[in-house]
Chains A and B, each alone.
Chain A
Amino acid sequence: MAELVQKRRKDWLIESPGPSQVRFYVRQTIIYGLLMGCAIIVLIPVIWMISTSLKTRDQLFTGKVEFVPDPAAPENYADVWEKLNSISPQMTFARILANTLFITLLAMFGEIFSASLVAYGFSRFRWRGRDTLFLIMLSTVMLPGIVTRVPAFLMWRDLKLINTYDPLTWPSLFAWGPLYVFLMRQFFLSVPTEIEEAAIIDGANTAQVYWYVMLPLIRPVLLAIAVLSFQANWNNFQSPLLYLTASERFPLALAVRFFDQSLSKEAPQWNYMMAMSTMMAAPVLAIYFLAQRQFIEGINFGAVKG
């Protein structure tokens, strides 16, 4: 009965809003209006990319803005690979995808593996020079990649490893991402020492403590770093551009450029280029929507605690 009265009262309030209610609704309208505006700005380019990828050549330059192509041309997604095949026979979709995954997964594993070890050493042990070294590591973030690029290229050339995946994969084992070390260190620092001590008293050695005690405890940050690292390596363009020369060894990012620079050079074939872009974006978007919590956490750890 009391509930019913309350509900009545609520309905009544809505029916004849007082001045504060009016202000509340105006405010809400403005807030949601602005949010919708931002959402439209964010989404239109993405929708346009997908829409273009489904258009035929004739539908590209109609002078009108058409978001839903009629008829749609999903065959673009297959045709673009046939076209690439015609100038570079070994550039199949399967091969390019495998290349991208090969580079991405090896680099991702190396980054997580090394960053967790290094962060462990920087956080749970006391030794002279630790904080100085950690500061040096953080300051390397400021170093522009371009300054080391020429000598690094010469180094790999002397090792005869240009046009192999080596420069893109195993250097990740040397903790090339200071940011990930920083994130994990923050997490290790938040684990109470008692947990570690208890394990040591039970007779565990350092490797066992790290593997069985610490790693499970920092699983949220490991996941966050895994998704961030997957995205960064999948999207990476600079280093493959520098080190890979044979088109059949290209990851997706370079295949897109290859198409842009060869078949699309004179008259840009936007429908095919957008199809390739969509293909490249789809996996990262999928992982992002599945693991968005980890993503958001990952970018927040660094900023809020730094």
Chain B
Amino acid sequence: MESALDSYLPTLGRYVLVAIGLLVLMYVIYRVQLWFGIKREAATGRALVMPWVIGFLVFNLFPIGASLYLSFTEYNLFKPPEWVGTDNYKEIFSLKAAKLDDPDQRSREVLPRRYREVWRVGSYVVGAKEEDFWISMKFTLTYAVLTIPLGLMGSLGVAMLLNQRVKGLSLWRVLFYTPSILPVVATALLWRWMFSQNGIINTIFDPIYDLLSMEIPRWFTEPKMARPAFLIISMWGVFGANSVILLAGLKGIPQELYEAAALDGAGEWRKFRHVTLPMLSPSLFYILVVSTIGALQVFELAAFIPTSKEVGTFINWLIYREAFDTRHMGMASAMAWILTLVILAFTALIFRSSQAWVFYQGTREENN
């Protein structure tokens, strides 16, 4: 029997040692700088940020480099990594398009061996060797492209509602923010239960299914139903947190601007379009960046809600399984790098476009 303390004390000891070591190191770095004739102010500043610098080097920069190296290898934890050049990437990007003779034809008949169907566009079918990766990538990207604008609009709506001088504002705010507080582990399970075959959602909608004479949907295994289900889950979780941020933004808009707009004869819509939106754009920009990064990295939902192979899963979870279940560390690293580039591309796009629509007070006027 292992007692609890046996597992806590060694870690606690190392925790204290690392903390003390870090403080000593900061002091040494401070001293060394003084010795080199650097001013006290600069020396103190540099010494203070040392914890982050060391953490960045050890827990970020080095692993990033190592992951790039691993993505060019084959590695299963038991044998040392074997250099395979760009094989992993080639395998992932092996895509083949073929034409179907008739729409009911099975894609296996036209695609080369080892290629499985990923997309079907009209009478064309695209196959890939790593079809799971592409199906999940497609799933994640469409999820992100749908959930981000919908979430943004929904939370803007709620924020504007709360901004109507409602009574009990803090109570509403607390209430709407609750879903973002709950552990994702708990909410993922909860939604799996609610969307399950005999769950509350199917029970409530049963009359409607009857009316439309459709079968009771299996939400997470039917490709057509999975995405709406995950969208509903994400809407529920996201609009609270975002609307709290947007509400603070709305409260910060000077009332004079609306009065000036009204004097100029602007109606509600033009006030919204030409005062609210530009003034709110920094908050909208922040939410856009954060929710893009978040939507492309959904993990817990995928871990707790099994989906079918045809639906695919969230890419982050797929990569995790590739690395730690099937132990294809090299392949997983290559996939992780592709995901990283996708995220960077999305954020770069948002940052580039922000010059056109984000207005910081005092730096730029809106020109119609």
User: Most B CB atoms within 10 A — which of A113, A280, A304?
Assistant: A304
Query: Are A146 and B339 touching (Cβ within 8 A)?
Result: yes
Q: Which one of A4-12, A71-79, A281-289 is at the B interface?
A: A281-289
Convert A295-306 into 0s and 1s, putting 1 for each residue whose CB lies closer than 8 angstroms to a CB of B. Answer: 110011011101
Alpha-carbon distance A49/B185, docked complex (angstroms): 13
Convert B25-65 into 0s and 1s, putting 1 for each residue whose CB lies closer than 8 angstroms to a CB of A. Answer: 01000000000000001111111110111111011101110
Query: Are A151 and B63 touching (Cβ within 8 A)?
Result: yes
Query: Are A39 and B245 touching (Cβ within 8 A)?
Result: no
Alpha-carbon distance A144/B297, docked complex (angstroms): 7
Residue of B nearest to A107 (CB): B15
Query: Are A150 and B240 touching (Cβ within 8 A)?
Result: no
User: Most A CB atoms within 10 A — which of B43, B185, B196?
Assistant: B185
In the assembled complex, A81 has its CB within 8 A of some CB on chain B: no
Query: Are B204 and A151 touching (Cβ within 8 A)?
Result: no
A48 and B67 in contact, given A146-B320, A284-B183 (Cβ under 8 angstroms): no
CB of A93, distance to nearest CB on chain B (Å): 12
Residue of A nearest to B247 (CB): A300
Query: Are B283 and A304 touching (Cβ within 8 A)?
Result: yes
Which residues of the other chain, A, contact B248 by a CB distance below 8 angstroms? 300, 303-304
In the assembled complex, A26 has its CB within 8 A of some CB on chain B: no
Alpha-carbon distance A34/B249, docked complex (angstroms): 21
The one of A169, A248, A278, A284 in contact with B2, judged by C-beta atoms closer than 8 angstroms, is: A248
Query: Are B181 and A288 touching (Cβ within 8 A)?
Result: yes
Query: Are A165 and B8 touching (Cβ within 8 A)?
Result: yes
Alpha-carbon distance A128/B38, docked complex (angstroms): 11
Q: Which of A17-65 touch B at CB < 8 Å?
A: 31-32, 34-35, 38-39, 41-43, 45-46, 48-49, 52, 60-61, 63-65
User: Chain B contact residues: over half helix, strand or loop, or mixed?
Assistant: helix
Interface size class of B (residues with CB under 8 A): 35 or more
In the assembled complex, B363 has its CB within 8 A of some CB on chain A: no
Alpha-carbon distance A296/B287, docked complex (angstroms): 15
Alpha-carbon distance A43/B14, docked complex (angstroms): 43
CB of A213, distance to nearest CB on chain B (Å): 15
A114 and B52 in contact, given A164-B7, A299-B245 (Cβ under 8 angstroms): yes
The one of A38, A141, A285 in contact with B176, judged by C-beta atoms closer than 8 angstroms, is: A38
A42 and B236 in contact, given A142-B347, A248-B2 (Cβ under 8 angstroms): yes
A150 and B329 in contact, given A141-B293, A164-B10, A257-B303 (Cβ under 8 angstroms): yes
A127 and B193 in contact, given A144-B343, A281-B183, A292-B174 (Cβ under 8 angstroms): no
User: Chain A contact residues: over half helix, strand or loop, or mixed?
Assistant: helix
Q: Which of B190-207 touch A at CB < 8 Å?
A: 190-191, 193-194, 196, 198, 200, 203-204
CB of B53, distance to nearest CB on chain A (Å): 7
Alpha-carbon distance A291/B279, docked complex (angstroms): 29
A52 and B48 in contact, given A146-B320, A147-B337 (Cβ under 8 angstroms): no
Residue of B nearest to A256 (CB): B185
Convert B1-26 into 0s and 1s, putting 1 for each residue whose CB lies closer than 8 angstroms to a CB of A. Answer: 11010011011101100110010001
The one of A106, A148, A270 in contact with B59, judged by C-beta atoms closer than 8 angstroms, is: A148
Alpha-carbon distance A155/B63, docked complex (angstroms): 9
Q: Which of A112-137 touch B at CB < 8 Å?
A: 113-114, 117-118, 120-122, 124-128, 130, 133, 136-137
Query: Are A150 and B323 touching (Cβ within 8 A)?
Result: yes
The one of B1, B191, B244, B333 in contact with A45, judged by C-beta atoms closer than 8 angstroms, is: B191
Which residues of the other chain, B, contact A152 by a CB distance below 8 angstroms? 59, 63
Which residues of the other chain, A, contact B252 by a CB distance below 8 angstroms? 304
Residue of A nearest to B320 (CB): A146
The one of A173, A284, A306 in contact with B286, judged by C-beta atoms closer than 8 angstroms, is: A306
Q: Which of B231-270 touch A at CB < 8 Å?
A: 236, 240-241, 244-245, 248-249, 252
Query: Are B241 and A150 touching (Cβ within 8 A)?
Result: no
Query: Are A126 and B41 touching (Cβ within 8 A)?
Result: yes
Query: Are A268 and B193 touching (Cβ within 8 A)?
Result: yes
Which residues of the other chain, A, contact B63 by a CB distance below 8 angstroms? 147-152, 155
User: Most A CB atoms within 10 A — which of B18, B47, B193?
Assistant: B193
Which residues of the other chain, B, contact A238 by a CB distance below 8 angstroms? 299-300
In the assembled complex, B225 has its CB within 8 A of some CB on chain A: no
In the assembled complex, A87 has its CB within 8 A of some CB on chain B: no
Q: Interface on B for A, CB 8 Å cutoff?
A: 1-2, 4, 7-8, 10-12, 14-15, 18-19, 22, 26, 41-49, 51-56, 58-60, 62-64, 66-67, 70, 158, 161-162, 164, 166, 170, 172-179, 181-187, 189-191, 193-194, 196, 198, 200, 203-204, 236, 240-241, 244-245, 248-249, 252, 282-283, 286-287, 293, 296-297, 299-300, 303-304, 316, 319-320, 323-324, 329, 332-333, 336-337, 339-340, 343-344, 347
Q: 22 A-B residue contacts at CB 8 Å?
A: A39-B175, A43-B178, A48-B194, A63-B198, A99-B4, A106-B15, A118-B52, A130-B49, A142-B344, A148-B59, A152-B63, A173-B19, A174-B51, A181-B52, A241-B303, A242-B324, A253-B185, A280-B185, A285-B178, A285-B181, A304-B252, A306-B286
Given contacts A31-B166, A144-B343, A277-B189, 10 further A-B contacts (CB under 8 A): A121-B49, A126-B41, A150-B70, A154-B66, A169-B11, A237-B184, A273-B189, A274-B190, A280-B183, A284-B182
Q: Interface on A for B, CB 8 Å cutoff?
A: 31-32, 34-35, 38-39, 41-43, 45-46, 48-49, 52, 60-61, 63-65, 90, 95, 98-99, 102, 106, 110, 113-114, 117-118, 120-122, 124-128, 130, 133, 136-137, 140-155, 164-166, 169-171, 173-176, 181, 206, 231, 234-235, 237-238, 241-242, 248-249, 253, 256-257, 260, 268, 270, 273-274, 277-278, 280-281, 284-285, 288-289, 292, 295-296, 299-300, 302-304, 306
